[in-house]
Amino acid sequence: MCGRTACTLAPDEVSRACSYRNRGGRRRQPRWRDGDADKYRPSYNKNPQSMSPVLLSQRHFDKDAPVDERVLASMRWGLVPTWFKEDDPSKMRYSTSNCRSENILEKKSYKDPLKKGQRCVVLADGFYEWKKQEKGKQPFFIYFPQTQGSSQEKTNLNQDEPTTPARKKKNSETACPAEEASSDFKERGEAACDWTGWKLLTMAGLFDCWTPPDGGEPLYSYSVITVNASPNLQSIHDRMPAILDGEEEVRRWLDFGQVKSLDALKLLKSKDILTFHPVSSIVNNTRNNSPECLQPVDLNSKKEPKPTASGKMMMSWLTSSSPSKRKVPNACERKEERESKVQRKSTGAMQQWIQGANKKPRVK
């Protein structure tokens, strides 16, 4: 745990989904580090050694950056320590995809980055976990509960009604009048509108930078920090990622200048805030990368289950098209365009997301 995730948002969607308010109360949208948006590949089935989106303080790259400025980077999943002497990261003899919160201060691979303030937030639609059964293992997809229209707020969805990343593609736009989406906001890096699409899971992580002994491009990599599983997940697995719940926890984890390491470690707790649903064993093979990996299955029936309220949200999100081709809608749509969407027959958020996976991207 955690050994497989999904992150299906396009690079610009990830940026919009990570909008935040700075200390002055202004809404900001983190930019991608130069060249990193091209290194990231959306996927329904990410495994260690792949490149994933990570949020961190801009001060790690620019010492003069404002203390609360954030940046997005693509990093390799599986931390490669800066002191690693081999010429190939694949030669590491032990796994660093996860680090147990209890051992951070005991192992040099994690203790050194922690002391340097190299804390990051690993982003994903959600993660997969396998429950041991008499015959094999049953995979589950685990993620933040979602709200229709305001993905930044908590919900108290029933566990029987999972919310999945497919749930809201038609809501994967920013909510604001069109006149507010000015180029001036973009130039200042400020998000004029609130993101109402899929609420990304925010997992605490540590990163390091390794340079090949013979020189070459530095490699940034990370580990997902894990804690004991929350009560509602213990039946699936005994561990879970350390979840940062809400803007304040994300801010404290990233602010390595004001929040010292020992205080930041207090954020790493088991939190009973996630929801989940069973998925097909197709996800077991990392070569399978399709919306089917996320689709809920009925464990008591061979037939496709009837979409639940939260399951519908995931399907709606998937309707956009394949993650690599998904075209982001205009930040703020005209009122008449929104109304026309509402009039369309709804097949449920999650179902729409999956059904739309084979659609061609929208052309401006």
Range of the domain at 325: 5-358
In a domain, 363, yes or no: no
In a domain, 330, yes or no: yes
Overall number of domains in the chain:
1
Whichever domain contains 110, its CATH number is 3.90.1680.10
Instruction: Judge contact between 119 and 101, C-beta under 8 A.
Output: no
* Between 336 and 232, residue with greater pLDDT: 232
Widest CA span in the chain:
61
In a domain, 196, yes or no: yes
Strands of 137-143's sheet in order across: 43-46, 5-7, 126-132, 137-143, 275-278
293 has catalytic annotation? no
- Among the listed residues 2, 7, 193, 293, the single catalytic one is 2
- Among the listed residues 129, 173, 249, 333, the single catalytic one is 129
Rounded to whole angstroms, the Cα distance separating 155 from 150 reads: 10
Question: What is the structure's pLDDT at 193?
Answer: 62
Q: What is the DSSP letter of 61?
A: T
Q: What is the DSSP letter of 284?
A: G
Instruction: Judge contact between 225 and 242, C-beta under 8 A.
Output: yes
339 has catalytic annotation? no
Question: What is the structure's pLDDT at 320?
Answer: 54
In a domain, 341, yes or no: yes
Question: What is the structure's pLDDT at 24?
Answer: 83
Question: What is the structure's pLDDT at 309?
Answer: 52
Cα of 25 vs its chain's centroid, Å = 24
In a domain, 24, yes or no: yes
Rounded to whole angstroms, the Cα distance separating 59 from 257 reads: 9
- pTM exceeds 0.95, yes or no: no
Question: From its phi and psi, is residue 257 left (phi > 0), alpha (psi between -120 and 50) or beta?
Answer: alpha
Q: How many CA atoms lie within 13 A of 267 on its CB side?
A: 27
pLDDT digits (tens, 9 = 90+) for 237-292: 999 999 999 999 999 999 999 999 999 999 999 999 999 999 999 999 999 999 99
In a domain, 364, yes or no: no
Kindly indicate the confidence band of residue 364, based on its pLDDT and cuts at 50, 70 and 90. very low
Q: What is the DSSP letter of 104?
A: T
* Secondary structure (3-state) at 148: coil
In a domain, 85, yes or no: yes
